Amino acid sequence: MASTEGLQAYEEDNLLLSLPKEKGWAARHLYLFQGFWCPSNFIEGVIKFQNHFLAKDSDVIVASFPKSGTTWLKALTFAIINRQRFSSSHNHPLLTSNSHELVPFLDFIFHADNIHDKLSHLSNMTEPRVFGTHIPFPSLSQSIKESNCKIVYICRNPFDTFVSFWIFANKINPHSLHQLQIEEALENYCKGTIGFGPTWEHMLGYWKESIATPNKVLFLKYEELKENANFYVKRVAEFLDCPFTEEEESNGVIESIINLCSFEKMKNLEINKAGTFDRNYGKKYLFRKGEVGDWVNYFSPAMIEKLSKTVEEKLGGSGLSFKTSP
Ligand code: PAP
C-alpha cells in the first residue's frame, strides 16, 4: 500500500499534468493553480501548506506580491512584535539572521520536509509566530481565514515591482536559457504570467479584504512606508494589538526599529552579503536599490504606455493608486 506522502506525491503529479503551464521567470515553469501562476519550485509547498497548516489566533502573516517590500516588512514586523524579548540593538536576531530566516514563508515551509516533523516544529514555535506568504488571499489555508490571526499586506507600485522582479530573476539565473528581455518580461507581467500573478488580482484580493475586515488585514504601500516609516510602524503595532507606550516612544524605540530594518543597515550586514535562503536564492540579491522611481532608468516610452494602460484597465475604479516617483 502506498504511504500517505507517496499517495500525495502521485496526486500532485496528476494535478500538475492537468494544469496550464507557462515558462517561468525565476522558476523553470509557472502553473495556473487556483487562478494564480504558481512557480514550479513552490507548488508542492503551496499544496502541502493548504492541506496541513493550522493557524493560531496569535499568528501574524506578512503577505505580499514578490518584490514589493517583503524582506523589509518581515524585519519590521519581527522587530515590532519581539521588541521586549530583544530590546538591545547590539545582539538582535536581525543582525545575525536574514528576515526570511526569522519569518519563514508558509509557501515553502513544508516543501520537502516530513509533514509530521514540520507540524510538531511549528506547534512548538515561540508565540506569536510570524510567517510570510506570497500566496493570493483566496488560496490561503482555511484556518488562516477562520482564525483570529492577523495579516499585514504590503504592495508597491507596479513599475518598480516589475523592474525589481525582472532584475532579480535574471540575477539568480545568470546562465539560464530562460532569461527574458525586458520587453518580453513586461508583456508577461501585463498578461499576469509571473510568479503569484496576476499582480492586479493579488493586490485587489487583499485590498478588498482589508476594506471588508480591517481588523484582519492591514494594507500597506511600500512608497508610503518609505515616506513616513514612523507613522506606519506605529500603525502596524496598533493593528497587532501591541501599541507603543509613551515611554517607548520617548525612549526612541520606534526610531531604533526603523534604523535596525533600514535598507542601508540590512544591506551592509555580513550575513546579508553572502549565502542563500529558501530556494537557494542569493541573499545579497534581496537588497538592490530600495528606492521609489528607479523604474525610469529601464522603461522606454512604449513600455511606459503599455504598463500605464494596463494599470488603468486593471486597477481603475478600485480606489487603489500608487506614487511612482520619490
Ligand atoms: P522578495 O519578494 O524576494 O522577498 P522583496 O523583499 O519583496 O523581495 O523585494 C525586494 C525589494 O525590496 C528590492 O527592491 P529594488 O530591487 O527596487 O531595490 C530591495 O532592494 C527592497 N528592499 C529590501 N530591503 C529593504 C529595506 N530594508 N528597505 C527598503 N527596501 C528594501
65, 72, 168, best to mutate for ligand 1 pocket (most atoms within 8 Å of CB): 72
| Cβ neighbours for 34, distance < 8 A, ≥ 6 positions apart | 136, 138, 139
Say if ligand 1 is within 6 A of residue 287 CB.
yes
Per-residue pLDDT at 2: 44
CA-nearest of 27, 31, 297 to 160 is: 297
Q: Is the CB of 103 under 6 A from ligand 1?
A: no
Pair 225, 72: CB distance under 8 Å: yes
Q: The pTM is what?
A: 0.95
pLDDT computed for residue 175 by the predictor: 60
pLDDT score recorded for residue 176? 59
Q: Residue 83: CB within 6 Å of ligand 1?
A: no
The whole-angstrom distance between residue 231's C-alpha and the CA centroid of its chain comes to: 21
State the Cα–Cα distance between residues 275 and 271, nearest whole angstrom. Answer: 7
Whether 129 lines ligand 1, by a CB cut-off of 6 Å, is: no
- For the beta sheet containing 60-64, the strands, ordered from the edge strand earlier in sequence to the opposite edge, are 130-133, 60-64, 150-155, 217-221
Given the CA of residue 226, which atom of ligand 1 is nearest to it?
A: 29
Is 128 in contact with 260 (CB distance < 8 Å)? no
Active site residue 175: no
Q: Which residue's C-alpha cell is 522587530?
A: 79
Catalytic residue among 92, 100, 134, 202: 134
The Cα-based distances of 29 to 104, 141, 252 in angstroms read 23, 23, 47
What's the CATH architecture for 2-315? 3-Layer(aba) Sandwich (3.40)
Domain residue spans of the chain: 2-315
| pLDDT in the model for residue 6 | 60
For residue 67 and ligand 1, the question of a CB distance below 6 A is answered with yes
What's the pLDDT score for residue 1?
Answer: 39
Per-residue pLDDT of the chain (326 residues; tens, 9 = 90+): 345 556 566 667 788 889 999 988 878 889 999 999 999 888 989 999 999 999 999 999 999 999 999 999 999 999 999 999 997 667 899 999 999 999 999 998 887 667 888 888 899 999 999 999 999 999 999 999 999 999 999 999 999 999 999 999 888 876 655 667 899 999 999 999 999 999 999 999 999 999 999 999 999 999 999 999 999 999 999 999 999 999 999 999 999 999 999 999 999 999 999 888 776 778 899 999 999 999 999 999 999 999 999 999 999 999 999 999 99
Whether 138 and 269 have beta carbons less than 8 Å apart is answered as no
d(C-alpha 134, C-alpha 294), whole Å: 23
Residues 175, 178, 183, 187, Cα dihedral to 10°: -150
